[in-house]
Amino acid sequence: MTASTSENADSPVAPPTDPLRIIRCVGPGLIVAGSIVGSGELIATTKTGAEAGFSLLWLIILGCVVKVFAQIEFGRYAIISGKTTLRALDEVPGPRIQGRGNWLVWYWLVMWLCSISQLGGIVGGVGQALAISMPVTEAGSQYNQIADDETLLRFETYANRDLQIQNDPQASARLTPTTNDAEIQSRWNDFRSTFGEDAKTYDAAIWATIMAVVTSIILLNGRYGMIQSLSTVLVASFTVLTIVNLFMLQDQPDFRVRFSEFIGGLKFGFPTASGDARPIGTALATFGIIGVGAAELVVYPYWCLEKGYGKFVGTNDGSPEWTARAAGWMRVMRVDAWGAMVVYTFATIAFYLLGASILHRVELNPEKDNLVRTLAVMFVPVFSTWASAIFLFGAFAVLYSTFFVANASHARTFSDAMRVIGLIDDDDVTRQKWIRWLSGAFPILCLVIYLAFPAPAQLVLLSGIAQGIMLPMLAGAALYFRYQRCPQGLTPGTLWDIMLWLSAAAMLVTGLWTVWTQF
């Protein structure tokens, strides 16, 4: 089931009915999960927890669950029509340029530009993870040593804040911080005197360049099956590791998640800004990209079609047999979407709780060049001296998975956009050629963006804002597909319609709120 198609073909396949066979037919949701867990969960969600504490847990969970109804509606229309998302969006009423796409397609292009910027942040995060674990230059090696000790000092200072030691010199020596602020500052001064007043390390940029080039080569020759398998392995490995870390953290009195804090985080409420942190703005940007963000809502039907769901349903001839096939493959698609939701929701909650219970308490905020190093502190209470190595493996896994999958997704959606707005011929052969070329070009474009603006967290949040603004537009499109493009016999029940409207309402509020707070 690896056919690539944007139109239904005359080769219908009966849908599976056995649960095990249904599970064997899932896959698009796992690819989408591979692009979600890196930027939304590891970076944006953790940063929200670091700034807001536990108080916005309810918003994080809502962001994971509420958009799935719209996702399934987009997937349904792709399966029964064989149309890609941008072709479907071009059918939604509203202003348009004749032969060049409508308002939704053009705003998607704006959002795409921000999403590419997000991937610039992601490849920067990959570069940081590799630069910390395998520095290339002498400056990078010395920088790592000082920055690691400075971050560890913040952690040790918090862990020892209430320590009362009496008549136990050995314990006192063991728990005394390994360095102090004055020594750290002296080492930074020595570093600047050696490598220049404005000394910068280029290790992250070097590694980001290597990984961008490798990704470009892989994607030039990539196929659906390879993309699905790689993203699944990378995401699953770190998701399990993160959840294990969270459970083991409950044995640490200073950092465990207390039941009262967890319940408090489920109650509707908002934190106040403190210092440079703006938790509400960060949370809104995060809401746009966690779970299935606007970008994933758009790209999910492409993977459904590439998996073969549309081809297996066949052309709509109005027969009962076609309706039964469509209903069966829609059932497979729903299992795929909800199963992926369970995976990334667990990962999202784990990342948020780690950010709130450790980074927020220690007062560390993931930023710029120290993004990955700061995130690694979440593993220190449990894994101690092994924390950095363990986290860097996991960070590389999920960040690279996101970079890899999202570039593959962007190649498919952007080539389709060029077809919709009339820049390339409207045939599948031309589009497949452009998918291959763009798969190789986009990783390099992401690298250029990162080198020009090396602030990964800010690049990720910029995309979150753009996606948050598009969520109400996609909610309206989902409702349009439900009530204007739903064949007889496939109409969902009343409960589904209620949940779809609630999903649309939540997406509308998010979009309006994002515009109000950001502009």
Residues 6+ apart with CB under 8 A from 189: none
Q: 89 phi and psi, to 5 degrees?
A: -60, -30
Residues 6+ apart with CB under 8 A from 489: 320, 323, 327
User: What's residue 109's pLDDT?
Assistant: 93
Q: Residue 425 gets which letter from DSSP?
A: -
Task: List, for residues 435-458, the tens digit of each pLDDT value.
Answer: 999 999 999 999 999 998 887 777
Residues 6+ apart with CB under 8 A from 224: 2, 4, 303, 306, 307
Query: Structure tokens of 212?
Result: 């961008």
Q: 141 phi and psi, to 5 degrees?
A: -65, -45
Distance CA 490, CA 348 (A): 33
Residue 274: beta bridge partners?
277
Residues 6+ apart with CB under 8 A from 216: 439, 440, 441, 442, 443, 444
Q: Residue 16 gets which letter from DSSP?
A: P
CA angle 383-384-388, nearest 5°?
80
Contact 401, 35 (CB under 8 A): yes
The answer to whether the Cα torsion of 258, 261, 262, 264 is positive or negative is positive
Residue 96: beta bridge partners?
102
Q: How many residues does the chain have?
A: 519
With a cut of 50, list the residues of the chain below it in pLDDT.
Answer: 1-9, 163-175
Residue 102: beta bridge partners?
96
Distance CA 32, CA 148 (A): 33
Which long-range contacts does 102-111 make (Cβ < 8 Å, 24+ apart)?
104/473, 104/477, 105/417, 105/420, 105/421, 106/421, 107/469, 107/470, 107/473, 108/298, 108/413, 108/417, 108/470, 109/417, 110/466, 111/294, 111/295, 111/463, 111/466, 111/467, 111/469, 111/470
> Tokens 């998302």 map to which residue?
85
User: What's residue 481's pLDDT?
Assistant: 96
Distance CA 347, CA 345 (A): 5
User: What's residue 171's pLDDT?
Assistant: 44
Of 329, 293, 251, 316, nearest to 75 by C-alpha is: 329
User: What's residue 23's pLDDT?
Assistant: 92
Task: List, for residues 205-247, the tens digit of each pLDDT value.
Answer: 999 999 999 889 888 876 656 666 776 777 777 778 888 889 9
CATH number 3.40.50.970 given to 19-136+202-518: no
Burial class for 182, CB neighbours closer than 10 Å (0-12, 13-18, 19+): exposed
User: What's residue 498's pLDDT?
Assistant: 95
User: What's residue 289's pLDDT?
Assistant: 67
